[in-house]
Amino acid sequence: MSLIPKTSRDQAESLFSKARTQSMSLNRIMSERDAVSQAREAKTARLRELRLEKEAEAAALAAASLKRKGQG
């Protein structure tokens, strides 16, 4: 490396490059966080649907069982 001090332009370019790199990293992190959040929401919705289907089936079986007992 040279012992000549950086010019103002070199310093500004260096700072801008550092800021741009940090901004890109932050954007990547935010994108990953959003993707994880969307995946979690999708999984939660899918599990909720499965639970509601299971509860509906159980309610239908219980109703059918009560109906059979009433007829028998």
- What values do phi and psi take at 61, rounded to 5? -65, -40
- pLDDT tens for 12-49 read 999 999 999 999 999 999 999 999 999 999 999 999 99
Residues 6+ apart with CB under 8 A from 14: 6
What is the structure's pLDDT at 61? Answer: 94
